[in-house]
Chains A and B, each alone.
Chain A
Amino acid sequence: AQKVTQAQTEISVVEKEDVTLDCVYETRDTTYYLFWYKQPPSGELVFLIRRNSFDEQNEISGRYSWNFQKSTSSFNFTITASQVVDSAVYFCALRINNAGNMLTFGGGTRLMVKP
């Protein structure tokens, strides 16, 4: 069975601080995809990034960066120089090749960035 764990339920930082959101996953499949989603107060989940199991390259997109390490089954997300607009709930998710291609979500991390 698949499992995604986001151990941090809530993080509070002050604007301009860097913050890392942790994600640890479990699966026996060798082919899988990892995702991060952002859910702002408006409610709609917004796709941020996808990573497949064969590509361990880290990725940077502006102030966002992702660190994928198969050795530790982790896919961590770092926001550099956080801003108030980064305040949201962030979900990590795992997808394998099964019926419906379902995503298994972590419990989410609520990030609060204070001015």
Chain B
Amino acid sequence: DVKVTQSSRYLVKRTGEKVFLECVQDMDHENMFWYRQDPGLGLRLIYFSYDVKMKEKGDIPEGYSVSREKKERFSLILESASTNQTSMYLCASSGQLWHGYTFGSGTRLTVV
């Protein structure tokens, strides 16, 4: 069964900490994505990557960075966590155009 795995289901971090959210897919997909989901705001794209070492900003990249050193892994980095980054973070991967996304189960991050 194909999978996108997010390393943590729940995470609590302190303001100012550097936070790493990891995402691994086993489908050899070129494209990977990070979204955050907040009540009333739907899914908002933070960053995406369409190849190893390639990254593109999404709609809300401020306060985040990403890393894609290997095809299967796409990491989201919060350089200095703030309380307004408390959210559900969803990773997804995708192959060809006609494919949809396969999503991970999400990481619910709380910044205190």
Contacts and interface: CB of A to CB of B under 8 A. Distances in A.
A50 to B, nearest CB: 6
A44 B31 contact: no
Contacts of B90: 43, 45
Given A99-B56, A105-B42, A44 B97 contact: no
Contact of A102 (B33, B88, B102): B33
Given A33-B97, A99-B50, A101-B94, A44 B106 contact: yes
Contact of B106 (A37, A43, A100): A43
B97 A100 contact: no
B56 A100 contact: yes
A27 interface: no
B26 to A, nearest CB: 16
Interface in B15-50: 31, 33, 40-43, 45, 48-50
Size bracket, chain A contacts: 20 to 34
Contacts of A42: 105
A105 B43 CA distance: 7
Contact of A43 (B48, B49, B88, B100): B88
Interface residues of B, number: 27
Nearest to B49: A100
Contacts of A91: 42-43
Interface in A18-45: 33, 35, 37, 42-45
A35 B100 contact: yes
B98 A50 contact: yes
B103 A95 contact: no
A93 B90 CA distance: 15
A47 B43 CA distance: 15
Contacts of B64: none
B103 A44 contact: yes
Nearest to A93: B100
15 contacts: A9-B40, A33-B98, A37-B100, A43-B88, A43-B106, A43-B108, A91-B42, A100-B31, A100-B49, A102-B45, A105-B42, A106-B42, A107-B42, A108-B42, A108-B43
